[in-house]
Structure 1
Amino acid sequence: MENGVIGVDIGGTNTVIGIFNHDLELLEKVSIPTLKPYFPEKTNNPKEFFDLIASEVNALAERNGYKNNISCVGMGVPGKVNPNTGTVIRAVNLGYEEVPFALEMEKRLGIPVYIDNDVRNYTRGEALAGSGKGSNNLICITLGTGMAAGVMINGQMVTGYDFYAGELGHDPVPGVNYPCNCGKEGCLETIASASGISRLAQDAIQSGKQTILNSNEDKVTSKDVYLACLQNDDVALGIFDYVGRTLAKKLLTVTFLLNPEAIIIGGGAASAGKFILDPIQEVFESHYANSELPKLVIGSLGDSAGLIGSAHLAVAENQNI
């Protein structure tokens, strides 16, 4: 039989693993927790997580009739990643420092493993099969535990000279002093992310604002804020408006610089749809002139985007051997 391919998308909270057939059709995907036993301490060998991923990959392959018939694995990892060496240089939301990720996974799986930054793989997925299909110049933003961007220019992924391109989440926001996992304060991702939205909601509750979010017994999530928006809660609506406008101001600078055809918003907080997209659109319409506005859309592939991008990365790199 023809070999299958595995795609892995590692997030700050959850990791999604998918198996594809030879034609890169997704057969099944599973979600597992992203183990962070050392965080916030730094580690170069998250062995428990490596073992868990390997176990799930093998189970997925066997369950779909591909035991010993997987050709390669592609993985997206958040943070600063060197795809040439397969090393995670630094992932602040996972506590990784100089982790030989591809090598460790190859030891466990016995097949070639290729890695890149998770948002670059997300961007590949949306460009190939999602909201960015047909666009050669686009920016993808993911709003999850953290926040980052993937940039494609003339069909080529931008990595930067030392693989740090796209880390817009660590651009500082004036007047903001929330601590970031990178060690600094006021980074964009402390606001424009699922965890940032949760933080803003907690602040609103603690300040005594009248909102239906007060009824939450557990920590308020970005999904809770979205659900409150559906009930026209003023505080929840104000949070997404603030997040959208703050993000839009940063995206404007990038847009003037790169002139993309499309800007795609993805990640967990993107499920808020128009509540996050409308304020971005309003800022762009007010300030972007002398050129056609880029298409502003929500990613259409959900958590499959990173899997699809990771699988395509693996196949492309494996063919170059």
Structure 2
Amino acid sequence: MEKGVIGIDIGGTNTVIGIFNHELELLDKVSIPTLKPYFPKKTSNPEEFFDLIEVEVSALAEKNDYKNKIKCVGIGVPGKVNPNKGIVIRAVNLGYEEVPFASEMEKRLGVPVFIDNDVRNYARGEALAGSGKGADNLICITLGTGMAAAVMINGQMVTGSDYYAGELGHDPVPGANYLCNCGKIGCLETIASASGISRLAQEAIQSGDQTILKSNDGTITSKDVYLACLQNDQVALGIFDYVGKTLAEKLLTATFLLNPEAIIIGGGAASAGKFILEPIQDIFVQHYDNSELPKLVIGSLGDSAGLIGSAHLAVAEFEQNNN
């Protein structure tokens, strides 16, 4: 009997669940809210969210004629993840600490579950089927509720000595004084993220800057700032220029260290396209003295990248454990 595979990509705001056939072709997907009623308090047992995932996975499997025909599940979780033990050590934007994610989901789903950091799974997806296809050395950045990175060297994902590799979002920015969810002041993700862009726009309005963003009702999103850029709003353009150049300074250091073929930008704020890419490119042209600049691109798979990476992770781990 041919069995399917589930890939799950957990974000700070939404979670996407996808179902794949035995050839790892994406058949269907659904987006659900990432439940975190305990946030900003910490929890080791996000039970309500576990239960919601169970319900949605079961419904998706049944809808696609895969009821009781799922082989394994792969999940990407934002934060510090120990994939060998299946534990989310810490996820500051979710309020997780020492969460036995894999074992809890195995109890509910009845099949093997494998987890890793969400951006590492995103990078796997883009390397296999997206903007990083064919690259053995790359850096992936996602700009969503928070900001994170993943690094692939010679075709191998880098996890670090205790699974913290890629947490560039918590590198401090000189002069920045915004409080991060991790408890520190001035982390990169307080600027280079969708939530950071939103906050910068709100601050510009409160300071009296002349911008069409004033006409927006309610909370201003990074998409609102992008749409204002399309109308040549100077405040909106200035926000993305600042965010891009601030991010570029950190990426430049990583690029000198790692010499990647490609740098892939994903996440919700990546939809800004050239408005986020051009400031980064400007910094690299000015300061990177290698003859070849890394290819700087927006991820091409959208929210499917994390699903694809999660599904491939699950199958690889499942086959290794059963050989």
Shorter-chain TM band: over 0.9
Alignment of 1:155-304 (within 5 A): 155-304=155-304
User: Aligned letter for 1:294?
Assistant: P
Deviates more, 1:287-296 or 1:109-118: 287-296
Question: What is the alpha-carbon distance in structure 2 between the residues aligned to residue 86 and residue 202 of structure 1?
Answer: 39
Q: Report the secondary structure of 1:281's partner residue.
A: helix
Q: What CA deviation, in whole Å up to 9, does each residue of 1:1-34 have, x standing for no partner?
A: 4000000000000000000000000000100000
Q: What CA deviation, in whole Å up to 9, does each residue of 1:37-85 have, x standing for no partner?
A: 1000000000000000010000000000000000000000000000000
Question: What is the alpha-carbon distance in structure 2 between the residues aligned to residue 290 and residue 2 of structure 1?
Answer: 49
1:100 maps to which residue?
100
Question: What is the alpha-carbon distance in structure 1 between the residues aligned to residue 248 and residue 200 of structure 2?
Answer: 18
User: Aligned letter for 2:76?
Assistant: G
Q: Report the secondary structure of 1:314's partner residue.
A: helix
User: Aligned letter for 2:275?
Assistant: F
1:3 aligns with 2:11: no
1:217 CA drift (Å): 1.2
User: Aligned letter for 2:157?
Assistant: M
1:290 CA drift (Å): 3.0
Question: What is the alpha-carbon distance in structure 2 between the residues aligned to residue 232 and residue 4 of structure 1?
Answer: 47
Q: Report the secondary structure of 1:73's partner residue.
A: strand
Question: What is the alpha-carbon distance in structure 2 between the residues aligned to residue 229 and residue 105 of structure 1?
Answer: 42
Q: Report the secondary structure of 2:165's partner residue.
A: coil
1:91 aligns with 2:91: yes
TM-score by length of 1: 1.00
User: Aligned letter for 2:185?
Assistant: E
User: Aligned letter for 2:62?
Assistant: E
Question: What is the alpha-carbon distance in structure 2 between the residues aligned to residue 306 and residue 91 of structure 1?
Answer: 17
1:65 maps to which residue?
65
Question: What is the alpha-carbon distance in structure 2 between the residues aligned to residue 132 and residue 290 of structure 1?
Answer: 20
Question: What is the alpha-carbon distance in structure 1 between the residues aligned to residue 69 and residue 277 of structure 2?
Answer: 42
1:132 aligns with 2:123: no
1:291 CA drift (Å): 3.2
Alignment of 1:107-126 (within 5 A): 107-126=107-126
Q: Report the secondary structure of 2:116's partner residue.
A: strand
Question: What is the alpha-carbon distance in structure 2 between the residues aligned to residue 60 and residue 290 of structure 1?
Answer: 48
Question: What is the alpha-carbon distance in structure 1 between the residues aligned to residue 291 and residue 230 of structure 2?
Answer: 34
For structure 2, the residue ranges without an aligned partner over 5 or more in a row are: none
Question: What is the alpha-carbon distance in structure 2 between the residues aligned to residue 145 and residue 158 of structure 1?
Answer: 23
1:77 aligns with 2:77: yes
Question: What is the alpha-carbon distance in structure 1 between the residues aligned to residue 84 and residue 244 of structure 2?
Answer: 35
Q: How large is the RMSD of aligned CA atoms in angstroms?
A: 0.5
Question: What is the alpha-carbon distance in structure 2 between the residues aligned to residue 220 and residue 290 of structure 1?
Answer: 39
Question: What is the alpha-carbon distance in structure 1 between the residues aligned to residue 218 and residue 69 of structure 2?
Answer: 44
1:313 maps to which residue?
313
Q: Report the secondary structure of 1:40's partner residue.
A: coil
Q: Report the secondary structure of 1:320's partner residue.
A: helix
Q: What CA deviation, in whole Å up to 9, does each residue of 1:132-172 have, x standing for no partner?
A: 00000000000000001010000000000000000000000
